[in-house]
Structure 1
Amino acid sequence: IIFTHLVCEINERNHQFQCSALDVIQVAAEFTLTTLFEYNVKIMTHHSHVTLTVRNTQLMMNIVKTLR
């Protein structure tokens, strides 16, 4: 339900979505976030960090951008 409210807030043109479409978008978003956090953990481990920092996240995002 929280995800549906988030999509509604982002939806500026008041498009309508089928429940199945929202489910697919939510699964894709969860998979993407999980994958990005896994990458962040690998970066933290590589740098012997125990805290996720903005700098680590920026590094991970730069790496992901180069993979496109």
Structure 2
Amino acid sequence: MLIQQYVENELAKGNLRGNFKDEDTISVDTEVTAFSNGKLPQQKLVFKRIDSQPGDATEGQEALSQTF
């Protein structure tokens, strides 16, 4: 339930910022950050708006960084 709330909140914020529209298709994926400056690698959620043309995706905001 907690991850679902993060996803819903970040999609709503992206919608309010104008990054996403109601009719957009959004891809949610995870990305692992590299170990740097003494910080351990973290897994974060990445949101991307998918264009209607095949093979053409526009990157959205990296919405949050949360260790799982």
TM-score tier (shorter): 0.3 to 0.5
Please, what TM-score do these two structures have when normalized by structure 1? 0.35
Structure with larger Rg: 1
More strand by share: 2
Task: Tell me the TM-score normalised to structure 2 length.
Answer: 0.35
Specify which structure has the bigger relative contact order, considering alpha-carbon pairs within 8 angstroms and separated by 6 or more residues. Answer: 2
Q: Higher helix share goes to which structure? A: 1
